[in-house]
Amino acid sequence: MLKEQEIYTVTIEDLTHQGEGVGKVEGFPLFVQGTIPGDLAKVRMDKKRKNFGHASLVELIKPSEDRVESVCPYHHHCGGCQTLTLSYEAQLKYKDKKVRDTIQRIGKINKEIRPILGMKEPYRYRNKAQFPIGLEEGEAVIGFFQRGSHDIVSIDDCKIQHPFNKEIIKTLKKYIRENKVSIYNEKTEKGLLRHLVTKVGFQSEEQMIILVINGESLPKEKELIDRITQAFPRVKSIVINKNTKKTNVIMGSKNRVLYGQEYMVDTLCNLEFQISPHAFYQVNPIQTEILYEQVVEMTALEGNETVLDVYCGIGTISLLMARTAEKVIGVENVEAAVQDAKINAKRNHITNAEFHAADAEVFIPELALQKAKPEVVVVDPPRKGCDEAVLEAIVTLSPQKIVYVSCNPSTLARDLKYLDNKGYQVEIIQPVDLFPNTVHVECVVLMSRV
């Protein structure tokens, strides 16, 4: 019987979904923050639950062979990256294992997966950052939420973000200080400035800044615009987003353009895309091209197909498909993203793609009632996976191929199982590392009707 506050020696064998090391003592699993597979460690059990315990690291007796020096000084506290001390090679192995195990365990599908496609340089890959702003001893701090809390870790630079962020943080802090801008307090719900959101086009080099505020306007807006545009001539858009609600959702629904346009443009797979503040755009553009190439290869279009792109965002996959398909139908429930998708079709002189603003769980069943017959269906849902109504309707549509793009192996496995039971066979499982140094992993799966 293990007890709370006792010290145990444990060999770490695995990682949890949150990136904690897992090791067993007398068959009882302990989750230990700050450890990685291969570590031999002395740990203290802080909290005992029914089937596992939370423990903290007391001493690293023998470090894992996969251990590396973290490139980030904040990695102990910041909730962003979880696996900075695990070598990149070992991270990739871990992700392969996670995908394989999850698809077997939850999906009951025994299919070899293809080795994950990793990055050459697994840093500075993100094109989007959302920094909470807080106060520490009267000074504004900009950074990230601490792991498991809403305390802010003040940071100067984030190694997975574009270097632009480092500079804009400095500029914004100076503006806050000089104009005594009040900072939002989650507890009292008072104060103005809440979040700094940045987007950067890796190919276009365009930049967008969104300032989320609890109110209508910022002090000395004209001066702020001058400061930013003089220091950063690539900034094409500065937007004020109003969020006066007590919520963890970062952005409110209303935007006001402070400078430039209400969007940023980037290029991906030789197509140009405009991206609005509220629209989704994959955060790792280098790996996204690799991911989308996989989608193109798996769909293997010949030219006479109708393709349905469910959860299409700003139309990235749709427009890629439209280059070869006869017709593409995209559906997405963020109105601004659908507007972007329509304009993106025009930007790229694509006339065989149509976009609908609707909930997939409403739109796809309607399409099935209309007896539409797409040959290929691509789905790229959020983390919670596809609604069962969507899967059911896809089965009724009866496409030859389904390509499933997923950022969550658990819901992917659940949905694959559903489709497998309805006569779709998994042909290819291809993980892609879109999120180096974190526990997250993207997958593309090809299924065909048997």
Catalytic residue annotation: 407
Does position 282 bind ligand SAH by CB under 6 A? Answer: yes
Residue 83 or 284: which CB sits closer to ligand SAH? 284
Subset of residues 261 to 280 that bind ligand SAH, contact rule: CB under 6 A: 280
Does position 312 bind ligand SAH by CB under 6 A? Answer: yes
DSSP H helices in 60-108: 88-105
State the Cα–Cα distance between residues 40 and 11, nearest whole angstrom: 4
The stretch among 92-100, 162-170, 189-197, 329-337 that binds ligand SAH (CB under 6 A) is: 329-337
User: From the CB of 198, what's the least distance to ligand SAH, in Å?
Assistant: 18
380 is in an annotated binding site: yes
Q: Using the rule CB under 6 A, which residue among 30, 140, 218, 360 binds ligand SAH?
A: 360
Determine which helix (DSSP H) or strand (DSSP E) holds 334, and give its type and residue range.
none
Contact 331, 364 (CB under 8 A): yes
With vertex at residue 398, the alpha carbon angle to CA 423 and CA 340, rounded to the nearest 5 degrees, is: 125
Residue 409: count other Cβ atoms within 10 Å of its Cβ. 26
User: From the CB of 124, what's the least distance to ligand SAH, in Å?
Assistant: 21
* Region at 295 (left for phi over 0; alpha for psi -120 to 50; beta for the rest): alpha
Does position 316 bind ligand SAH by CB under 6 A? Answer: yes
Tell me whether residue 149 is exposed, middle or buried, using C-beta atoms within 10 angstroms of its C-beta: 0 to 12, 13 to 18, 19 or more.
exposed
With vertex at residue 371, the alpha carbon angle to CA 365 and CA 376, rounded to the nearest 5 degrees, is: 80
Residue 73 or 382: which CB sits closer to ligand SAH? 382
User: From the CB of 128, what's the least distance to ligand SAH, in Å?
Assistant: 12
Q: Which residue has the tokens 């029914």?
A: 50
311 is in an annotated binding site: yes
For the chain, the 3-state helix, strand and coil shares in percent, each to the nearest 5, are: 25, 35, 40
User: Contacts with ligand SAH: how many residues (CB under 6 A)?
Assistant: 19
Q: Using the rule CB under 6 A, which residue among 209, 258, 317, 336 binds ligand SAH?
A: 317
Does position 332 bind ligand SAH by CB under 6 A? Answer: yes
Subset of residues 379 to 438 that bind ligand SAH, contact rule: CB under 6 A: 380-382
How many residues does this entry show for the chain? 450
Tell me whether residue 177 is exposed, middle or buried, using C-beta atoms within 10 angstroms of its C-beta: 0 to 12, 13 to 18, 19 or more.
exposed
305 is in an annotated binding site: no
Q: Using the rule CB under 6 A, which residue among 250, 334, 389, 428 binds ligand SAH?
A: 334
Q: Which residue is nearest to ligand SAH (CB)?
A: 313
The stretch among 79-87, 179-187, 190-198, 378-386 that binds ligand SAH (CB under 6 A) is: 378-386
Does position 313 bind ligand SAH by CB under 6 A? Answer: yes
User: From the CB of 382, what's the least distance to ligand SAH, in Å?
Assistant: 5
Residue 178 or 359: which CB sits closer to ligand SAH? 359
State the Cα–Cα distance between residues 128 and 165, nearest whole angstrom: 9
332 is in an annotated binding site: yes
Q: What dihedral do alpha carbons 331, 332, 337, 339 form, nearest 10°? A: 40
Q: Using the rule CB under 6 A, which residue among 267, 333, 398, 448 binds ligand SAH?
A: 333
User: From the CB of 332, what's the least distance to ligand SAH, in Å?
Assistant: 5
State the Cα–Cα distance between residues 204 and 230, nearest whole angstrom: 19
State the Cα–Cα distance between residues 450 and 363, nearest whole angstrom: 25
User: From the CB of 69, what's the least distance to ligand SAH, in Å?
Assistant: 34
- Binding region: 282, 311, 332, 380
By CB under 6 A, name the binding residues for ligand SAH: 280-282, 311-313, 316-317, 331-334, 337, 359-361, 380-382
Q: Which residues are annotated as a binding site for S-adenosyl-L-methionine?
A: 282, 311, 332, 380
